[in-house]
Amino acid sequence: MATQAPKGYSRLQIALHWIIALLIAVQILYHDPMEEAWDAVRDGLAVPAEVTFGVTVHVVVGVSVLLLALLRLGVRFTRGAPALPAEEPAPLRLAANATHVVLYILMIAIPLGGLAAWVGGVKPAAGIHGLAANVLFWLVVLHILGALYQRFVLKSDVMTRMVTPQK
């Protein structure tokens, strides 16, 4: 682990952040075909041909999120992440840190749960996967609102750190 927090994020960290964000958006778009396929499998029916493309996208993108999140976590442990501004109120720092921890957990747990359900046939994993995906959605909303609050209310540069790499 890094001994001293860097002043900003690296190009790799920024790229991973935005790629994972985009992939999560794709997952939201391809949720319905996966749900339709799961319902068919659960009912002992064949997966409808018209949803197989969406299912493939959902599975491939989910595995990609898992692998990229693990890479991102590894980079975070080896390089570190910039500290939040010292003048930020303690409850906001706590909320930001807790949100990030849960986001990382979900970016790993959701794809694993999806794989357990789809590939392993572990039916309870499907329900947990869906519930966790809903939690992830609302945490992403909270994350975005927090960044906007930082920028426009607290007038901090926290949001720009995920756009401009550290030199």
For the stretch 39-54, pLDDT in tens is 999 899 999 999 999 9
Tens-digit pLDDT profile for residues 126-148: 999 999 999 999 999 999 999 99
CA contacts within 13 A on the Cβ side of 12? 12
Q: CA-CA distance, 95 to 32, in Å (whole number)?
A: 31
Statement: residue 77 has pLDDT above 90: yes
Question: Residue 78: what pLDDT?
Answer: 96
Tens-digit pLDDT profile for residues 143-153: 999 999 999 99
Average pLDDT in the 3-12 region? 90
Question: Residue 86: what pLDDT?
Answer: 86
Q: How far is CA 32 from CA 39, 135, 151, 164, in A?
A: 11, 17, 34, 35
3-state helix, strand, coil in the chain (%, to 5): 75, 0, 25
Please report, rounded to a whole number, the percentage of residues in the chain having pLDDT higher than 90: 86
Its pTM surpasses 0.85: yes
